[in-house]
Amino acid sequence: MQTKFLRPSRLGVLAIAALLLAGCVTRSISNSGYPGSNNPLYHGELSDFDVLGAPATGPITDTQIAETLASAKQLAPHRNERILVIQSGAMTPDSEMLSALGADFSLGSLSGVPGQPHNDYARQLRLIAAQGGYGQLLCYWGTLESSKTDEVTKAVSWVPIAGWLVPDQTQKMRIVLRAVLVDVATGHWRMYRPLPIDDEQLSAMIGRRSSDQDQVARLKDAGYSALAHDIVASAE
């Protein structure tokens, strides 16, 4: 007797994918409050093109690409140099990031809230930095990815009052960061991508929100320190 294998329907595949993704949450470091309590000042992220410049219009030749590559240099920050810092999506960079960089560089900050999109946005950022006397511009992006696992004590949480105090859920979270350093005069740039950092925390129903925000704060501290370390290590 031949066994017949049924091909899953498109709806079935989507249902399976939804189950796999259930409980997974991704949020920006600029909108990192407890899920469901969004930051009213958050209006999305800057795109790479907002910071690095829009793609060139018109024909691009292999010769042009080769000449650009030949003239490119490995951009590096200089200790005590003035750097204008932008956190994508935030009115101001997080203080922990500024503290992590502040010992080695003279810092200014600029809003990373997206404005009206246009082709010269990146050049405008460079002009603003130049007007303030900043030789380099640093923009960074970050996400917090989390998933939750119910523990065997979850059933106790159904018990009124007492169950709220029993730790019954583990949240795994990681922070993923990247940054771009831009030379204000030339537009040349360099990217930094520290390794993601993971954290795990057990919480009870009554303290879920504060537990989540403690975890966010720990990961930001660790992530910003790692990113700052990479930037400082590349300094001349």
* 217/8: higher pLDDT: 217
Given a cut of 80, is residue 154 above it in pLDDT? no
Res. 161 pLDDT band, cuts 50 70 90? low
* Residues in a beta bridge with 82: 106
pLDDT at position 207 is 73
pLDDT at position 160 is 58
Rounded Cα–Cα distance for residues 224 and 209 (Å): 22
Phi, psi of 156 (to 5 degrees): -65, -25
According to the CATH classification, is domain 29-233 in 3.40.50?
yes
Given a cut of 50, is residue 172 above it in pLDDT? yes
pTM for this prediction? 0.82
Given a cut of 80, is residue 166 above it in pLDDT? no
